[in-house]
Amino acid sequence: MFARPLVETTIRATSSHPKERNDCVVIATALAFGIPYDEAFDLMGLYGRTAGKGTPRDTSQKAWISLYVKCKKRVVKHSFPAVKGKKRMNVLEFCKTHSVGTFITKQAGHMATVIDGKVHDVAPFAWWHWERCVYTAFQILPI
């Protein structure tokens, strides 16, 4: 059986926003691009994120474009559409099949970073997170 590969991050705890919630996009951005949480927090705010309220749809992708030059990284989008008669890609299956590289996965109501097949997210990462469908994965690559 494949173990659930979780690396709990404390990136928020060392920031100036340690009690922030609904910030999965901020955490995923900071971890995937290798920038401090506070920098990712401020960047998402520039593109419409409201503290404690989450990140509006498509805000993250607009913000990531601004990181292209600064971090010397590009984003490649991979979609996982539903196929009749087949199971959807879930987080656990994604980790098994993408054991190399850095990705930001988009599920229903959540984003998480997967680095070399391990989910990097804040605790608790509930059991049902592993069964969530991965709709899109954004691969972070050097330029």
For residue 70, the model assigns a pLDDT of 87
User: pLDDT (tens digit, 9 = 90+) per residue, 52-68?
Assistant: 888 887 888 889 988 98
- Class of residue 85 by CB neighbours under 10 A (exposed 0-12, middle 13-18, buried 19+): exposed
User: pLDDT (tens digit, 9 = 90+) per residue, 3-13?
Assistant: 567 777 888 88
Residue 141 pLDDT class (50, 70, 90 cuts) = very high
Question: Could you give the count of Cα atoms lying within 13 Å of 104 in the half-sphere of its Cβ?
Answer: 23
Question: Running DSSP on this structure, what letter comes out for residue 129?
Answer: G
pLDDT at residue 48 is higher than 50: yes
For residue 132, the model assigns a pLDDT of 86
Q: Helix, strand or coil for residue 121? A: strand
For residue 123, the model assigns a pLDDT of 62
For residue 1, the model assigns a pLDDT of 43
For residue 4, the model assigns a pLDDT of 63
β-strand 110-115 against 118-121: which pairing, if any? antiparallel
**Averaged confidence pLDDT in the chain:** 88
- What is the pTM assigned to this prediction? 0.90
Q: Quick one: tokens of 56?
A: 């509006």
pLDDT at residue 35 is higher than 90: yes
For residue 81, the model assigns a pLDDT of 94
β-strand 73-79 against 136-142: which pairing, if any? antiparallel
- For the ranges 14-23, 64-73, 104-113, 117-126, the lowest mean pLDDT is seen at 117-126
